[in-house]
Copies of this chain bind each other. A is one copy, B any other.
């Protein structure tokens, strides 16, 4: 089993490098530099390249070749980076992965336009392969784009709302995060001319793993090991973000604790030195375990879809990927 793990990791790394090469080429020799330099800057900030890998692995699982899916893999990563650049403006974020955000390194106009052009080149890449399933691929990509805009808008709405239910939160992350993972799997499957059943299975896997991924993100923000995490722990509380853990704590708490959590909404966040207090409250209320349970529940839901895949090897690859994602520490 450990041998399989290192085999899958090697495959992930090998394909990630291939995506990386193609991402490097995507914006090369394009002008004006004022437009493409900031786009290259955000692309070079790294990341797991999870979305392109979902495209590639889904294509493989549907009996296709990696080679037919690289352009689409590049497209989804460009789309993802478009959302990062615009979201960072809206969130007024100074840093991403330890580097200045695009609007901080350059300026607002440059960042808006760099985001727009990342999206334009994403469609260009998607259109490079004119296979039989071009329409399905473009439908799925465009649907993903619509969803991610709607999800981001809901997320912004939540900042101003006093009441947000867990169900509303799940709907928001379905749109903002899960729809894009789902889209990646559907696109990969379509490129490989998958059957309807395979497409549905992979879509279901992507959607549920996306939800699990986002709750894991929320959980890591308060429970990660700071030296591994790469940023300080408790940032979501400081910013007063309505994460899964926060909403669950609000739901479960009573009396003074509830009042304190309500206070975070009113004050739009907490001070740095209050993080330990609220982390302790999270522990007392058991919301870290609740989050962990939900991550496992959605991961299992994702894994349950894999039975429709043809090869055991592909199932195992997705099991390994799921396992890596929910055990990640950053």
Q: Are A113 and B135 in contact (CB under 8 A)?
A: no
> Of B123, B130, B156, which one neighbours A113 at CB under 8 angstroms?
B156
In the complex, A143 Cα to B125 Cα: how many Å? 11
Beyond A116-B149, A124-B146, A145-B120, whether A156 also contacts B89 by CB under 8 A is no
Q: Which of B109, B127, B156 contacts A138 (CB 8 A)?
A: B127
Closest beta carbon of chain B to A291's beta carbon, Å: 25
Which chain B residues border A115 with CB–CB below 8 Å?
116
Chain B residues contacting A127 (CB-CB under 8 Å) are 135, 138-139, 142
- Distance (whole angstroms) from the CB of A262 to the closest CB of chain B: 23
A-side interface residues, number (CB < 8 Å): 37
Q: Per-position contact with B for A140-165: 1 when CB-CB < 8 Å, else 0?
A: 00110110011011101100000000
B123/A32 in contact, CB under 8 A: no
In the bound complex, CA of A26 to CA of B113 (Å): 25
Question: Within 8 Å of chain B (Cβ to Cβ): is A108?
Answer: yes
Where chain A touches its partner, the secondary structure class is helix
Does A319 count as interface, using CB distance less than 8 angstroms?
A: no
Cβ–Cβ < 8 Å partners of A86 in chain B: 112-113, 116
Q: Does A1 contact B (CB under 8 A)?
A: no
Known: A127-B139, A134-B134. 18 other contacts (CB 8 A): A32-B153, A32-B157, A34-B156, A35-B150, A86-B113, A89-B108, A89-B112, A90-B109, A108-B108, A113-B152, A116-B119, A116-B145, A119-B119, A123-B123, A123-B138, A123-B142, A123-B145, A134-B135
Q: List 27 A-B contacts (CB under 8 A).
A: A32-B150, A32-B153, A32-B154, A32-B157, A35-B153, A86-B112, A90-B108, A90-B109, A90-B112, A90-B113, A109-B156, A110-B156, A113-B149, A113-B152, A113-B156, A116-B119, A116-B149, A120-B142, A120-B149, A121-B146, A123-B123, A123-B142, A124-B142, A124-B146, A127-B135, A127-B139, A134-B135
